[in-house]
Amino acid sequence: MTARKRYLRALVITATSLAVILMSTACFGSSNPQDTLAPRGPVAADEKGLFYPIFWIAVVVFFLVEGILVFAMYRFRHRQGTDVIPKQVHGNTRAEIAWTIAPTLLLALISIPTVATVYHLAPTKANNPLNVTVVGHQWWWEFQYPDLGVVTANELHIPTKRHINLVLNSIDVIHAFYVPQLAGQLDVVPGHNNEMYIEANNPGDYSGQCTQFCGTSHAFMRFRVVADQPGDFDSWVAAQKADPVAPGASTQAGARAFATGACIGCHTIKGVSQGKVGPDLTHFASRTTFAGSSLTNEAANVQKWIHDPQSVKPDAKMPNLHLSDDEIASLVTYLESLK
Amino acid sequence: MATLARPMPGVSQRPSRLTYLWSWITTVDHKRIGMLYLTTSMFFFLVGGSEALVLRIQLARPDQRLISADLYNSLFTMHATTMIFLVVMPMGAAFFNFMIPLMIGARDVAFPRLNALSYWIYLFGAILINTGWLTNAAPNDGWFGYANLTTLAYSPGHNQDYWFVGLQIVGLASLIASFNFIVTILNMRAPGMRLMRMPVFVWMSLVTNVLLALALPVITVALLELMFDRLFAANFFNVAKGGDPVLWQHLFWLFGHPEVYIMILPAMGIVSEVLPTFSRKPLFGYPVVVFSGVAIGVMSWGVWAHHMFTTGLGSTANSAFAVSTMLIAVPTGVKIFNWIATLWDGDIRLKTPLYFSIGFVAMFIIGGLSGVTHAVVPSDWEQHQTYYIVAHFHYVLFGGSIFGLFSGIYYWFPKMTGRLLSEKIGLWHFWLMLIGFNLTFGPFHLLGLDGMPRRIYTYAAGNGWGFWNGVSSDGAFIIAFSILLFLVNVARTMRKPADAGDDPWDGRTLEWTIPSPPPEYNFARIPVVQARDPLWHQKLLRRFSPLRADQAEVESEHGEEHIHMPAPSYYPFLTALGLPLMGYGLIYQSESKGLFALVVLGVVVILLGAYGWATEPS
């Protein structure tokens, strides 16, 4: 009897603690930057809106079925010293029909909002959208604003409360565009122009990441979406369209090193070079991160990057140029001046 | 035929007296081949598990760089490739080999030499793909190998060559085995063993092997296209020349989804044997369970694009595959209800095999429920390629297949070796594995919902993923410890005398009517089957109407016969040996065209093997 009681108590405790863990993680979400259950825009909110009802149905089914399983195991266990052949039941047509129909109905019920939301979230012609072309590179993101004449990298600026129409393309392999708090994933497939839209409710900084394995440094193909108030966004656009800051006394050496070095083969600085392999550096210093958003944009990090890009992002296209410390220092000063 | 001192011209020889090692190399006995499959797949289970442990150490804390990105990518690729192609599939084949003939009352499989051939091909393919580690060219583009990343332009080393060559060889092994088992099940059943009297494990094996026969050609097409792209500058996946990487995804998942059921159906078959045995009741709703299995097999061909909800197939395709995916949950759910109903009102003997089967059901429910959330496309867009998916398929493949396979090992170990594994260590193994499993993979749900992508070798501290990753890594070591206990259990048991007896579990099916381990010919007399669960039927008769039991006994005694067993053969081994030769030739032909000679040599070896095979005296 006591063993039986202990058994029961252990069961109850396990079940309750499991339930508590489930509920707490499900209801409170977290403040983590890629939390899929903390949407900050209508698309992600619709996606989350589908998750929760199904999650709760699953929780009910879980406790029901697992409960019956554990109960059956306990209740019908062999008692020592007995020798009975249990009733040889081969089946029960009614029960089997019932437990075929019940899940079918439940799933049919779930499929209705599923299909409706699929069509609802399909890319549409909205009023006054902002068009952005997203180009995936191994391992960084290029963002082109075809209507505004702006090109930037790894940080996508958008105005709040506006329909942002994204056209996704890749110049090499398949990537995936994922900003969990704004929208779910869509693959960035070379030769395809996949379309999706996002919208941010409030100003903020939303973390994103490539989710389709794309080679060695897939882990470092991160990016950020920065949502600005429409006014702030307009001034950001104006700043990005401006010519780069002219070199002053302190940045002269770096500017010369850039313009006469290997840099120009791959990078664009408006009026200086037209390289297309790496990110556009015209307003490099206006970005808060670089190298696939894996480093914060500060002098020490840029210096580390130029010194040996492979040690930061293995197999990155940018080679180790074997520059002297002085050359690197002057390049860093110049790049950090390009607001 | 030791008397044939001088061979007749043009006739090859059967091996005569053999040493220990040669007796294994030339064996065509389905039981010995089954043991070879089981031990080889268990070895690779340890390999794949060790790879997983290194992955977990690397991910235990944020911003760790204990191993390089490239090594990490190779490890996750080889972990999945190993577990899927070198562990779960061949471990299923181990049980097909050992148990199907015993359960249907046959003396061997339909094509014993073909059976040996498939094992040797599997072994050589497995070795080949793993030798990539030695040349620093282990495959590193994922087990799914999405083109165009796998093409020469983006994967210039030999890594992907090892992958497509190795998978084609291993696939050939499964393909050959599948025809063998289909023919065996359809043609070699004992008299009276009608289809609807077959044990459910045999039914699920039949479905699995039909799926294998149909699915493997699909991935072979994809792998051949990749091979032509890489070796001969074809352009199937070259975007610049009008190729399309999405073609790969369709082919791969058209294979890949039936593959999922190829991995789970054998385990479902095992559970459907274990639950009735230990609750001493027939399987509840046998026809329903059988037809659910068949329905799952058929429907598995109509759900592949749920792996591609983020590819950009458009709303119509996404909706259609969402609905078909939800539908396939119905037969799976039905099976679970039938299993629980089998336990209901039984006289449940709580032995290790039963614990593992219950573990299977309990964990599979979780995997099934999270699976339904993937079918909800917009919700899946948030979870696709995150750890939420990794959680889901480990709950069905580890919580499902691996628990089911261990249940099979504990259940049939006494039949295979004549020895019962220790219950005490077995229960420790079960509970530690169950706890470790949930600690490892449970947190993956939370990490996925927190937006952590798969296949990243490190992550920033600011994402807040550190805690659950730490828990998960601890759990992985608990699993590893439980597996260690299992190995200790096997090692200790094998030193004990083989005294398990014919029928230690009070079983129901034909394999428990013969000695453990079974003699080479299995059945001295081919049994006559009068009912589903023939042995149990007999036991009930004997208990409740002994007169009828005696009559049945007399009936089955008719037909004394000469036992003819297939002789051992060198040629399956020799024939299989040609394939890795061809494989290495293909992998390295780009280094020097002279290496094409290796391909030719491989072809010659295969032809020689086939010639010897064809002219062997029977």
Closest in A33, A121, A192 to B378, CB measured: A121
pLDDT, tens digit, for every residue of B84-128?
999 999 999 999 999 999 999 999 999 999 999 999 999 999 999
Q: Output the pLDDT for position A128.
A: 86
Instruction: Confirm or reject contact between A172 and chain B (CB < 8 A).
Output: yes
| pLDDT higher than 80, residue B141 | yes
Pick from B236, B250, B435, B450 the residue to mutate for testing the A interface (most A CBs within 10 Å).
B450
Residues in chain A within 8 Å Cβ distance of B250: none
Task: Kindly give the pairing relationship between strand A295-296 and strand A175-179.
Answer: unpaired
Single-letter amino acid code for the residue at A238: A
Instruction: Confirm or reject contact between A191 and chain B (CB < 8 A).
Output: yes
Instruction: Confirm or reject contact between A66 and chain B (CB < 8 A).
Output: yes
Residues in chain B within 8 Å Cβ distance of A65: 336, 340, 365
CB contact under 8 Å between A47 and B382, yes or no, is yes
Q: Which two tokens stand for residue B557?
A: 């005694």
CB contact under 8 Å between B378 and A35, yes or no, is no
Average pLDDT over residues B346-366: 96
For chains A and B, count residue pairs whose Cβ atoms are closer than 8 Å.
277
B455 — pLDDT class (breaks 50, 70, 90): very high
B594 — pLDDT class (breaks 50, 70, 90): confident
Average pLDDT over residues B383-404: 96
C-alpha angle B575-B579-B583 in degrees, rounded to nearest 5: 165
Q: Output the pLDDT for position B3.
A: 42
Q: Nearest CA of chain A to the CA of B592: how many Å?
A: 26
Task: Kindly give the pairing relationship between strand A222-228 and strand A155-159.
Answer: parallel
Average pLDDT over residues B584-588: 94
Closest-CA residue of B relative to A79 is B347
Instruction: Confirm or reject contact between A71 and chain B (CB < 8 A).
Output: no
Between B315-343 and A42-75, two packed helices, what is the crossing angle to 10 degrees? Answer: 10
User: Using an 8 Å Cβ cutoff, are B448 and B490 in contact?
Assistant: no
| pLDDT higher than 50, residue B20 | yes
Instruction: Confirm or reject contact between B317 and chain A (CB < 8 A).
Output: no
Least Cα distance to B310 among A186, A173, A118, A177 occurs for A186
Query: Exposed (0-12), middle (13-18) or buried (19+): which is A121, by Cβ within 10 Å?
Result: buried
Closest in A85, A122, A185 to B310, CB measured: A185
| pLDDT higher than 70, residue B4 | no
Cβ within 8 Å of residue B345, ≥6 positions away: A76, A86, A87, A89, B281
Measured CA distances, A197 to A126, A225, A289, A315, B192 (Å): 10, 13, 24, 32, 63
Q: Is the dihedral of CA A288, A291, A296, A298 positive or negative?
A: negative
What ipTM score was computed for the predicted complex, to two decimals? 0.92
Residues in chain B within 8 Å Cβ distance of A100: 330, 334
Q: Output the pLDDT for position A1.
A: 46
Query: What's the whole-model pTM score?
Result: 0.94
Task: Tell me the percentage of chain B whose pLDDT exceeds 70.
Answer: 96
User: Using an 8 Å Cβ cutoff, are B547 and B576 in contact?
Assistant: no
Contacts with A, B 187-246, CB within 8 Å: 239, 244-246
Residues in chain B within 8 Å Cβ distance of A7: none
Q: Output the pLDDT for position B5.
A: 46
CB contact under 8 Å between B456 and A218, yes or no, is yes
B546 — pLDDT class (breaks 50, 70, 90): confident
Measured CA distances, B6 to B12, B13, B412, B618 (Å): 11, 10, 43, 17
Contacts with A, B 526-585, CB within 8 Å: 540, 543
Instruction: Confirm or reject contact between B123 and chain A (CB < 8 A).
Output: no
Residues in chain B within 8 Å Cβ distance of A178: 385, 451, 453
Residues of chain A with pLDDT under 50: 1, 27-28
Measured CA distances, A78 to A84, A194, B277, B280, B416 (Å): 9, 60, 13, 10, 26
| pLDDT higher than 70, residue B324 | yes
Q: Is B496 helix (H, G, I), strand (E, B) or coil?
A: coil
Q: Output the pLDDT for position B567.
A: 87
Contacts with B, A 131-170, CB within 8 Å: 138, 168
Q: Output the pLDDT for position B616.
A: 86
CB contact under 8 Å between A51 and B382, yes or no, is yes
Q: Output the pLDDT for position B17.
A: 65
pLDDT, tens digit, for every residue of B410-453?
999 999 999 999 999 999 999 999 999 999 999 999 999 999 99
Contacts with A, B 332-371, CB within 8 Å: 333-334, 336-338, 340-341, 343-350, 358, 361-362, 365-366, 369-370
Residues in chain A within 8 Å Cβ distance of B279: 76, 86
pLDDT, mean over chain B: 93
Q: Nearest CA of chain A to the CA of B598: how many Å?
A: 31
Give Cα B293 distance to the centre of its chain: 17
Q: Output the pLDDT for position A171.
A: 95
Q: Output the pLDDT for position B552.
A: 66
CB contact under 8 Å between A211 and B146, yes or no, is no
Phi and psi of A79, rounded to 5°?
-95, 130
| pLDDT higher than 60, residue B1 | no
Residues in chain B within 8 Å Cβ distance of A186: 310, 312, 381
